[in-house]
Amino acid sequence: MSKVYNFSAGPAMLPVEVMKKCQEEFLNYNGLGVSIIEMSHRSKDYMEVANQAVADLRDLLKLPDNYKVLFMHGGGRGMFANIAMNLAQPNGCADYLVGGAWAGYAAAEGKKYTNVNEIKIDSVNDKNLVTINTKNLPLNKDAQYVHVCLNETIHGIEIFDDINTNNVPLIADASSNILSRPLDVTKYGIVYAGAQKNIGPSGFAIAIVREDLIGHALPFCPSVYDFKVTYEHDSMFNTPNTFAWYLSGLVFKWIKDFGGLEAMEARNKEKADYLYGFIDSCDFYSNNVDKSCRSRMNVPFFLKNSDLNQEFLDKAKEAGLCNLKGHRVLGGMRASIYNAMPIEGVKALVEFMDKFAKEHK
């Protein structure tokens, strides 16, 4: 089988080393004669797996003791509701910084539980490029929280600047860039992430919650989504996705073995710079995001002649470059180059893009 590079936005490719380790252990975990997915989540052997995963994640993010790691059901979209149900007040309000599709989806969900003030942070500059502003925002000092999406997978926008919320808890959706670079979690009240980008399989989310924000759930919040209940039961009030937890733990170890988040950031910057550098140098392709906020994880790009889109996708697939079609909201192409994507995959993509462009000039 020839080498295939998967540029899917999620579920995304996982490290080959992790997949091989999982394959080796799948039928017989640690010599126990059973698969990891057959083990009781409360057994001594599985609890060692779960606790080690949490410890490794805490180590990677350098989490202080007052931040708790919760494994939540429902994925990223589930967290849109969970945040509001755990922090909002029916007669209160929350600020949502909106700069891309996913931030808007989160705001729409928040409106079911509280008054939402949407603050637009994206605009088009004089070079006709999308840019982001997070300074001097019209925030409400009485808001229960401020919500922001740190990386927009659809539009290829990433926020690198600190956001001053005047002590109102800042809640970050880091679903698509968590563990891609160091992150000072102490600047946030909560950092959460759907799993299927840089963590592991789809279907669950991880929430890193400052302890003073636990215990404020609305009365109708289901127990399985209540941060306090989840914390008091070590994320096992309801049987968790044990396989995803285990596999995520393997990913955490892989990142640590690679050198941690500093080394991972260098890897991701190299990949992004290589791909954006080619796009900028070739008038056959374009990217519409300002360099100050270009995502290192998701690179949308457009062909000069959109009539060639399908041919581009077909030939890319033949070349072993899969899942490059842009999101339906934006169109064009999109290369998602999360942690697991090696530089060789990006170089293969650039080589193909160069060849395709020369054939169609």
Which residues is 98 bridged to in the sheet?
A: 120
**Nearest-angstrom CA–CA distance, 219 and 224:** 13
For 197, residues 6+ apart whose C-beta sits below 8 A from its C-beta are 9, 10, 12, 153, 175, 176, 177, 178, 297, 336, 338
Active-site position among 95, 122, 173, 226: 173
The H or E element that residue 95 is part of is: strand 93-98
- Sign of the C-alpha dihedral computed for residues 249, 254, 258 and 261 taken in this order: negative
Active-site position among 56, 102, 122, 290: 102
Query: What are the tokens at 208?
Result: 């890193």
Active-site position among 68, 197, 271, 325: 197
Is residue 254 flagged as an active site residue?
no
- Label residues 15-41 b or e (16+ Cβ within 10 Å = b): beebeeebeebeeebeeeeeebeebeb
Pure H helices in 221-318: 227-232, 242-258, 260-281, 309-318
End-to-end CA, the chain: 32
3-class DSSP state for residue 307?
A: helix
DSSP string, 206-239: EEEEEGGGSS---TTS-GGG-HHHHHHTTT-SS-
Identify the CA nearest to 217 among candidates 206, 205, 227, 207.
Answer: 227
For 320, residues 6+ apart whose C-beta sits below 8 A from its C-beta are 2, 3, 4, 5, 348
Is residue 162 flagged as an active site residue?
no
Query: What are the tokens at 261?
Result: 């988040």
- Which of the residues are catalytic? 102, 173, 197
